[in-house]
Amino acid sequence: MIKSSKNIFIIFILVSLIGCGYTPLLDVNKEKFFINKLSLEGDRQVSNYISINLKRYQNYKEDMKIIDMEISSNYQKSVANKDRSGDPKNYNIKLIVEVNIMKDEKIILSKIFEENRSLAVQNRKIKEKEMERKYKKDLSNLISKNIIFFLSNQ
Q: What is the pLDDT of residues 76-130, one digit of tens each?
A: 999 989 888 888 889 999 999 999 998 888 888 899 999 999 988 888 889 989 9
Task: Give the per-residue pLDDT at 123.
Answer: 86
Sign of torsion, CA 112 117 121 124? negative
Q: Mean of the per-residue pLDDT values for the chain? A: 84
Query: Looking at residues 5-23, what average pLDDT do you find?
Result: 71
Within 29-124, residue ranges assigned H as helices are 44-54
Angle at 39 between CA 34 and CA 40, to 5 degrees: 120
Q: Determine the angle formed by the axes of helices 44-54 and 125-152, rounding to 10 degrees.
A: 40
Within the chain, residue ranges assigned H as helices are 2-18, 44-54, 125-152
> With 90 as the cut, is the pLDDT of residue 154 above it?
no
pLDDT band of 10, cuts 50, 70, 90: confident
CATH class of 30-152: alpha beta
Percent of the chain past pLDDT 90, that is, above it, reads 40
80 compared with 31, residue with greater pLDDT = 80
The ranges assigned to domains in the chain are 30-152
Task: Give the per-residue pLDDT at 115.
Answer: 93
| Residue 21 β-bridge partners | none
Sign of torsion, CA 120 52 22 33? positive
Q: Give the number of other CB atoms < 10 A from CB of residue 11.
A: 10
